[in-house]
């Protein structure tokens, strides 16, 4: 009996120790791939390196370019995409090729007429590093730029190193799956609006599913995030783009971006973009705001200089998930002529050719979401093959 009691006590102590260790691990903050320099320094040493990075590409508090140069890594050029290399450009603003003032490194613009590196751009480059903070939405163009970079690397037989980061919308999957007929720069992959992948997992999916041009494969390495699961709440320490200034905006972004195809303001030109919704003369809501141009953040926003009335979602709790309720509410209370601005832009953002009709016919949110069920389930099954971190299901 004493031996049994001793065995039980020992087992309980061991179990509590294991649980305690697990709790400690889960309580630790995620460590982005960029911060794990020892994991990738050997891949960069004595090579000619290019990077695709932006203002979110930090190693602790130091920009990736500055950090790599301090470690004697030969960074030959930088590829700049939407918002510019150090985050100085507004939404949609064309980026010009230039020289980084701090380091003298050439910057090649890939956000204008040209969006993919050419063979000349990659001449004498041995490896390209991709590092930036994504927000987990299909129409957020950082993943489109990564896709085109992967194609260029595949064509030119150049290695690609992705430094992974947590996804602040990585705890669920939602929204319509893209119809390939609606493929564009704001939707390049047959994935839902909220795809539930880190950028590293998505790179593996793009490669593995043969989505690159001519079914090519890119030589790809992903440096994973430590202490991260898809259940981990993650608030980026720096805003990923000028109009996503905080966690609330990032969480509302999947639901409010469809309004970009309408005449309704989602707060561009205010201090609360993607956290408020309004329209001049709207009859519901007691919150008012007036958009104005904000240099480097928002140029000529919808209803500039006009007072808009609507909803204040800044304190919406819990952390918002994708929903059509706000969109359907505004559509129901406005005339079609006042509400819609561009059917085509809406279809590209939603990636769906039936949603426009469903909304105009007055379908409720439940029936609309149900109509996506089969494709969502098929996607979730495929997604599991590329997960690098414990899932939320």
Q: Which two tokens stand for residue 47?
A: 């090579």
- The pLDDT, as a whole number, for residue 257 is 98
Q: What is the predicted pLDDT for the residue at 388?
A: 98
Residue 141 clears pLDDT 70, i.e. is over it: yes
pLDDT at site 87: 59
Q: What is the pLDDT of residues 267-317, one digit of tens each?
A: 999 999 999 999 999 988 889 999 999 987 888 999 999 999 999 999 998
- 175-188 in b/e form (b: 16+ CB < 10 A) is bbbbbeebeeebbb
Report the distance separating Cα 355 and Cα 193, nearest Å: 13
Over range 256-274, report the average pLDDT. 98
pLDDT at 82: 73
Q: What is the mean pLDDT of residues 356-362?
A: 97
Q: What is the rounded CA–CA span in Å between residue 56 and residue 354? A: 36
Mean pLDDT of 355-363: 97
Which residue has tokens 């016919």? 361
Neighbours of 303 (CB within 10 A): 18
Q: Give the model's confidence band at 94: pLDDT under 50 very low, under 70 low, under 90 confident, else very high.
A: low
pLDDT band at 91 (very low <50, low <70, confident <90, very high): low
Distance CA 306, CA 278 (A): 11
Per-residue pLDDT at 23 = 40
Percent of the chain at pLDDT exceeding 70:
90
Show the tokens assigned to 21: 């260790």
pLDDT of residue 85: 77
CA torsion sign for 239, 245, 248, 252 is: negative
Planar angle of CA 249, 174, 22, nearest 5 degrees: 80
* CB count in 10 Å sphere of residue 347: 20
* Mean pLDDT across 213-232: 97
pLDDT of residue 27: 54
| pLDDT for the residue numbered 265 | 98
pLDDT confidence of residue 320: 87
Read off the pLDDT band of 112 (50, 70, 90): confident
Can you give the pTM of this predicted structure? Answer: 0.90
Higher pLDDT, 328 or 23: 328
Low-confidence winner among 36-40, 90-94, 139-143, 225-229 (lowest mean pLDDT): 90-94
pLDDT class for 235, splitting at 50, 70, 90?
A: very high
Higher-confidence position of 125 and 27:
125
73: pLDDT strictly greater than 70 = yes
Sorted by where each starts, the structural domains of the chain and their CATH numbers stand as: 33-235 (3.40.50.12170), 247-362 (no CATH)
Structure tokens at 203: 């790179």
Torsion of CA 64, 69, 74, 77, to 10 degrees: 50
Report whether 174 contacts 322 (CB < 8 A).
Answer: yes
Reported as a single tens digit per residue, the pLDDT across 15-48 is 333 334 334 344 589 999 999 999 999 999 999 9
Phi, psi of 5 (to 5 degrees): -60, -40
Residues 6+ apart with CB under 8 A from 205: 189, 191, 197, 211, 382, 383, 385, 386
């Amino acid at each position: 009996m004493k031996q049994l009691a001793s065995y039980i006590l020992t087992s309980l102590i061991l179990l509590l120790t294991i649980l305690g260790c697990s709790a400690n691990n889960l309580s630790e903050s995620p460590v982005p791939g960029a911060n794990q320099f020892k994991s990738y320094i050997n891949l960069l040493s004595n090579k000619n390196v290019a990077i695709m990075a932006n203002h979110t590409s930090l190693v602790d508090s130091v920009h990736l370019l500055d950090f790599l140069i301090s470690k004697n890594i030969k960074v030959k050029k930088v590829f700049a995409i939407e918002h510019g290399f150090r985050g100085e450009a507004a939404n949609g603003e064309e980026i010009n090729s230039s020289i980084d003032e701090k380091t003298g490194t050439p910057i090649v613009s890939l956000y204008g007429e040209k969006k993919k590196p050419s063979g000349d751009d990659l001449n004498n480059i041995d490896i390209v590093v991709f590092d930036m903070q994504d927000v987990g939405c299909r129409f957020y163009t950082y993943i489109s730029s990564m896709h085109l970079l992967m194609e260029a690397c595949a064509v030119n037989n150049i290695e690609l190193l992705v430094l992974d980061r947590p996804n602040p919308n990585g705890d669920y999957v939602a929204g319509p799956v893209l119809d390939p007929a609606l493929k564009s720069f704001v939707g390049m992959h047959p994935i839902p609006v909220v795809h539930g992948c880190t950028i590293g997992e998505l790179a593996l999916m793009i490669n593995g599913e043969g989505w690159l041009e001519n079914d090519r494969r890119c030589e790809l390495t992903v440096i994973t995030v430590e202490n991260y699961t898809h259940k981990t709440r993650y608030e980026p320490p720096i805003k990923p783009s000028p109009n996503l200034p905080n966690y609330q905006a990032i969480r509302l972004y999947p639901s409010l971006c469809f309004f970009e195809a309408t005449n309704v303001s989602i707060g561009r030109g205010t201090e609360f973009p993607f956290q408020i919704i309004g329209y001049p003369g709207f009859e519901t809501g007691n919150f008012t705001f007036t958009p104005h141009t904000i240099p480097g953040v928002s140029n000529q926003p919808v209803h500039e200089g006009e007072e808009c009335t609507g909803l204040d979602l800044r304190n919406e709790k819990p952390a918002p998930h994708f929903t059509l309720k706000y969109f359907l509410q505004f559509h129901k209370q406005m005339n079609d002529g006042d509400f819609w601005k561009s059917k085509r832009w809406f279809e590209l953002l939603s990636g769906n050719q039936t949603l426009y009709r469903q909304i105009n016919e007055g379908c409720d949110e439940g029936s609309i979401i149900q109509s996506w069920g089969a494709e969502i389930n098929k996607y979730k099954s495929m997604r599991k093959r590329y997960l690098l971190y414990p899932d939320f299901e």
